[in-house]
Amino acid sequence: MSTFGFMRGMYINHSPQGSTRNRPSHISLMSVPKDRCRWVGVFRAPAHLSTEEFERGFADMAREIATVPAARDNMSWKEVSFANSHFNEEIIALGLPVADRVALLIGEAESYDEMRRVAKDPEVLRIITEARTNIGIGEGSMVFTADVLVTLGKSE
């Protein structure tokens, strides 16, 4: 599965905070203080659902998770995006693979302990279990956590 491609609903942070532009070259990114961590899920649409059915079901799932007290209190939910084909010709010209029918879910927290509270919450577990059954999330998908080390902004 490729995760390249343009996504509808993309949120791009143009803030210079976290930029490494002024960071001395001898300082490793691993030594940069991490001010937040990110939960990223790339979910492939199952073949048995239309794109519209998958996107509607996925958006409903994400909205429901965001209303659960554990999720609302511990994480800042950043975006739900869906791949589109508007830029595929240019991506192919770059020699890169284009995205499959995928959804992207990104959330942020100040710590992994906050993320753990969300991941272990019974209501969140119920919603994810239902989504695995109802819209087939899981197979061909990937979820990972990441430290936010660098924020890319506009060139000056």
pLDDT digits (tens, 9 = 90+) for 90-108: 999 999 999 889 999 999 9
Amino acid 3: pLDDT:
34
- Write down the residue that tokens 């019974």 correspond to: 122
| Residue 24 confidence class, pLDDT cut points 50, 70, 90 | very low
pLDDT at 50 over 60: yes
Amino acid 2: pLDDT:
33
- What secondary structure does DSSP assign to 140-156, as a single string? T-EEEEEE---------
User: What is the rounded CA–CA span in Å between residue 56 and residue 79?
Assistant: 15
- What secondary structure does DSSP assign to 42-58, as a single string? EEEPPTTS-HHHHHHHH
Report whether 9 contacts 79 (CB < 8 A). yes
pTM attached to this predicted model: 0.72
**Share above pLDDT 70 across residues of the chain, in percent, rounded to a whole number:** 73
Question: Where exactly are the structural domains of the chain?
Answer: 35-146
Topology of the domain covering 35-146: Alpha-Beta Plaits (3.30.70)
Amino acid 107: pLDDT:
92
User: What pLDDT digit, counting tens, does each position of 106-138 carry?
Assistant: 999 989 999 999 999 999 999 999 999 999 998
